Amino acid sequence: MKIIIHHFSEEQLAAARAVAPGVDFVTPTTDEEMQREIEDADGIFGGVTPDLIRRAKNLRWIQTGGVGVEGLRFPELINSDIVLANARGTTAVNIAEHVMALILAFTRTLNITIKRQMEKVWESRANMPVLEIAGETIGILGLGSIGLEVAKRATAFDLRILAVDPTQTHKPDYVESLWKTDRLHDMLSQSDWVAICCPLTIETEGIMGAAEFRAMKPSAFLINIARGKIVNQAELVEALRAKELAGAGLDALDPEPLPQNSPLWEMENVIITPHHAGQSPKAPNRVFELFCENLKRFVADEPLINVVDKTRWY
C-alpha cells in the first residue's frame, strides 16, 4: 500500500509508520514525480487536480489538511469512488476565538481606538460609543464544528444563541433555537451579531445578499470567517453605506487578496483580517492526529472520519 504525503517532519513520519508499518510513504518533490507516484498510490494527504485523478489507477482515499473542499469540486472526483475526507474540527477552536475577537473588537471600539493610537490621537469617549454584549443575540449560520465552538464561547459571554443549518439536528442546551436554513430571515431579524460559519456550497454561495442585509437590524454586525463567496460583497458594501447594518468583521473576502481599490478598506465600521482565522500553532498537530486516525482506519478497511458527502460537498 502506498500513501503520498507532504511536508512531514521526521517525527511525524515515524509516527505515521508506527500507525501503519506496512505502508510505503512517498513525498514527491516535483510535478513529474507526483504524476508518476499517483499512478499506483492508494491514498494521498493533500490536494489533487483533475489530471492527477485521471492518472490515478488505485486511489481510494484523499485526506485534505483543510476544512473547505470547494476547490476539489470537479467531475473527475465527484464521479469517482474515491473517498474524500477533510479536516473538519481541527481549526474550530481557533476560528471560534477569531469570531469572538472580532465581536469584542467592535464592542469596545477597538477598530477605532487602534487607528487613533497610530495617529497619536486621544479620542474623546463621546466619539466612541461602546457596546455590551451580555444579553444580546447571536445568530449562527451553520452549526457544524465551527458554529458549535462559536456557540460555546457565546454562552460564556451570556449571549442568546440562534442558529440555522440545513442538516444539523442536534441542538445543545445552550442553543435556544436551531432552524432549517429557510428560516434564515427569522434568525437575522432577531440577531445583534451574525456569524457565518457554513461551508461554501452551491446552496450557500451568495446566500447573504441585499435581502438578507435588509432583514438584519440596523444595529447588527456581520462576521464572516467562512468563505468570501457566501456573501454578495458588492451588496454588502451598499448595505454598509446605507447603514442597513452597523458593521462587518471580514476574515473571508472575494477575491483574495482584497483589491486595494475596494471601498471596504476605508470603512471605519469594517475590520478586515487576511483569512487567517484558521491559523493556530496547535491546529497542525490536530490535523496530523486526524490523518493518523484515518490512516489506521484506512489500513484496517474501517469507516473514515470526516468523510465529505460529494452530493452536498461538506
Distance CA 253, CA 233 (A): 8
Query: Which residue's C-alpha cell is 456569524?
Result: 195
Q: Are 151 and 161 in contact (CB under 8 A)?
A: yes
pLDDT in tens, 53-88: 999 999 999 999 999 999 999 999 999 999 999 999
Q: Are 28 and 37 in contact (CB under 8 A)?
A: yes
Residue 130: per-residue pLDDT: 95
- Given strand 24-26, what is the order of strands in its sheet? 24-26, 2-4, 43-45, 61-63, 83-85
Is pLDDT above 90 for 304? Answer: yes
Q: Are 104 and 84 in contact (CB under 8 A)?
A: no
Residue 62: per-residue pLDDT: 99
Assigned C-alpha cell, 70: 470547494
pLDDT in tens, 214-223: 999 999 999 9
Distance CA 149, CA 49 (A): 32
Q: Are 155 and 147 in contact (CB under 8 A)?
A: no
Burial of 149 (0-12, 13-18, 19+ CB in 10 A): buried
Is pLDDT above 90 for 108? Answer: yes
Confidence tier at 7 by pLDDT (50, 70, 90): confident
Determine if residue 265 is left, alpha or beta; phi over 0 gives left, psi from -120 to 50 gives alpha, anything else beta.
alpha
Residue 47: per-residue pLDDT: 92
What's the rounded mean pLDDT across residues 80-108? 98
Distance CA 115, CA 271 (A): 11
Distance CA 68, CA 252 (A): 12
Confidence tier at 96 by pLDDT (50, 70, 90): very high
The structure's pTM equals 0.94
pLDDT in tens, 15-53: 999 999 999 999 999 999 999 999 999 999 999 999 999
pLDDT in tens, 226-284: 999 999 999 999 999 999 999 999 999 999 999 999 999 999 999 999 999 999 999 99
Domains, the chain, in order of start with CATH, read: 2-89+281-299 (3.40.50.720), 92-272 (3.40.50.720)
Residue 18: per-residue pLDDT: 98
Burial of 182 (0-12, 13-18, 19+ CB in 10 A): exposed
Q: Which residues are catalytic?
A: 227, 256, 275
φ, ψ of residue 93 to 5 degrees: the values are -65, -50
Q: What is the mean pLDDT of the chain?
A: 97
